[in-house]
Structure 1
C-alpha cells in the first residue's frame, strides 16, 4: 500500500559559490604585485649602485664613535648661540607674516567665487601657488643669497616665498567653501565688492587664516634652522661652523637648542590655536 505522506523535498544542487574577486580581478591583482615587486627591486638596484658596503657595515662603529665625541655638550658655548637662535625666530616670524600678506591676495584670485576671471586670472594665481610649494625654502635661500648676499634678509624672503603656496592653497579652498547665503545677504544691501569681502568673506575665513598661519609659523621655525647652512642667517651658520671644525660638543648643544625651540613653538602654537579656534 502506497504511503500517503509526501516525500521530503530533495536538496537544491548548485555549483555556484561566493568569490571575493572574479578570476580577471585576481589575475590583475597578481600582475600588479609582480610589477610592484619588480619596480621595488629595480629601484633598490639603482639606489645602491654606487653604495660602498664597507662603509655601511662600519656605520654602527662610526655612530658609536661620533656619539661619544658629542657628549657632554659644550655648555660654555651657550652664550654664542643666543643671538643666532633669536635671528632664527625672527626669520620664521617675519617670513610667515610676509608670506601671509602675499598669500591672501593670491588666494582671493585663485578662489572660484572671488576671482575676477576664472579663465585667465585663476590659472595664474594657481601657478603662483604651485610654484611656491614646489620649491623648497633651502633652494629659495640659495637663489636669494646669490642675489641679495648672505644674511637674514635672504632667509626672511625665502621663508615668505615658500609660505605663499602653503597658506594660499588652504585659504583659497576655505574661501570656496564659505556660506554663500551670507554673501548674498550683504550683496542685497548694495554693498561693493570690497565691502562684501570685508563683511561676508573675511569673517568666515578668519579662523582658518589664524590656524593656517600658526601652523605655517611652526613649520617655518624648523625650516629656518637650516637656512644658515647656505648663508641665509640664523642658527644654521653656527651649526655649519661647528660641523666644519668637527666640534661635536658644540653640535650637540646647537641641536638641543633647536629641539627646545621646536618643542616650545609646538606648545605655544597649540595654546594659541585653542584660544582662537
Structure 2
C-alpha cells in the first residue's frame, strides 16, 4: 500500500514570490502617493475655514429659503436664451459632426493614412476642451453674449456626436453595402441607400442625447459672460441674493427634468 501521509506536497500559493513582492511595492507607492497628495492638498488649506464650514452652510441655507417666487418673472428671458444656446449649438455641432464622422470611420474615409487621422484629431480636440473653457476663449475673441455660448456648445458637441456616429458607421451590416454596390451604385448612392438608413436611428438618438446634455451645460455658461441663466445666477451670487439663487436652481431643475423627459421620449420613438 502507498502511504499517502508520507507524500510531500508543495504548498499551493495564489501568487508567486515575485508577484507578492510586486504587490507590496505597488501598495507602498500607492500609500506614498496618497500621503503626498494629502500633504499637497493641506499645504494651502486654512482649517479654520473648514471647521467653520458647517455654520456657514447652515447660515446660507437659512437665507436661501423661502425662494423668491416673484423673481421667476425675470427668468423667462434668460431661460429662453439658455434653450436657444443649447438648441442652436447642438444643431451647429451636429451639422459639422456628420462629415467629420464619415471621414473618421474606417469603412467610409477616403484615406486611412491622411484624412482619418485629421478627422480623429478634430474629434479628440473637441472632446478634450470643456464647453466652459470654449466659452471663456470665445468671450475673449467674439465678446460676451449669446453667440459665444452658441459657438461654445457647438464646438463641444462636434467631438461627442462625431465619435458616437463614426462608431455606429463602422458597425453597419456590410452585406447591405455590398448589395447596393453590386447594382453599380456610386459612392454617394451607397451612402444614401445602404449606410444612412442603418445609422439613422443612432443618429437621432445621439443628437437628442447631446441636446439634453447641452441644456445642462448652457445653464452655467453665463458665469463667464456667455448669456442665459448663468448670467442671472452670477448677478444673484454677486449681490448675495440667496433666495434668488434658490429660485434659479428651481428653474434649472425643472428645465433639466423636462429636457430629460423629452429626450427619453424621442429616443424611445426613434430606437
TM range, smaller chain: over 0.9
Task: Report the CA distance between 1:30 and its aligned residue.
Answer: 1.3
Q: Unpaired segments of 5 or more residues in structure 1?
A: 1-7
Give the Å deviation of 1:53: 0.6
After TM superposition, list the pairs within 5 Å mapping 1:190-209 onto structure 2. Answer: 190-209=184-203
**Distance (Å, rounded) in 2 between the aligned partners of 1:259 and 1:36:** 39
Q: Which residue number in structure 2 is paired with residue 9 of structure 1?
A: 2
What is the aligned counterpart of 2:129 among 120, 129, 135?
A: 135
1:73 aligns to what?
Answer: 67
Alpha-carbon shift at residue 76 of structure 1 (Å): 0.7
SS of 2:32's equivalent in the other structure is: helix
Show the counterpart of 1:185: 179
Task: Give the alignment's Cα RMSD to 1 decimal.
Answer: 1.0
SS, match of residue 122 in structure 2: helix
For residues 41 and 198 of structure 1, the distance between their equivalents in structure 2, rounded to whole angstroms, comes to 58
Larger CA deviation: 56-65 vs 169-178: 169-178
**Do structure 1's residue 234 and structure 2's residue 228 form an aligned pair?**
yes
The 4+ residue runs of structure 1 with deviation greater than 6 A are none
Q: 1:30 aligns with which of 6, 24, 38?
A: 24
Number of residue pairs aligned between Structure 1 and Structure 2: 270
Structure 1 CA distance, aligned partners of 2:163 and 2:154?
A: 14
Quote the offset at 1:151 in angstroms: 1.3
Aligned to 1:265: 259
1:104-183 correspondence runs (5 A):
104-183=98-177
1:77-124 CA-to-partner distances (Å, cap 9, x unmatched) read: 010001101111111111111101100100111111111111111111
Partners in 1 of 2:237 and 2:58 — Cα distance? 17
SS in 2 for 1:72: coil
In the aligned structure 2, how far is the partner of 1:40 from the partner of 1:191?
A: 61
SS in 1 for 2:74: helix
1:92 pairs with 2:75: no
Deviation at 1:130, TM superposition (A): 0.6
Say which one has the larger Rg: 1
- C-alpha deviation, 1:166, in angstroms: 0.5
TM-score (norm 1): 0.95
Shift of 1:218: 1.0
Please, what TM-score do these two structures have when normalized by structure 2? Answer: 0.97
Deviations 1:132-187 (A, max 9, x none): 01111111111111222211111111000000011111111111111111111111
In structure 2, the residue matched to 1:3 is none
Displacement, 1:14?
2.2
Q: Distance in 2 between matches of 1:60 and 1:200?
A: 61
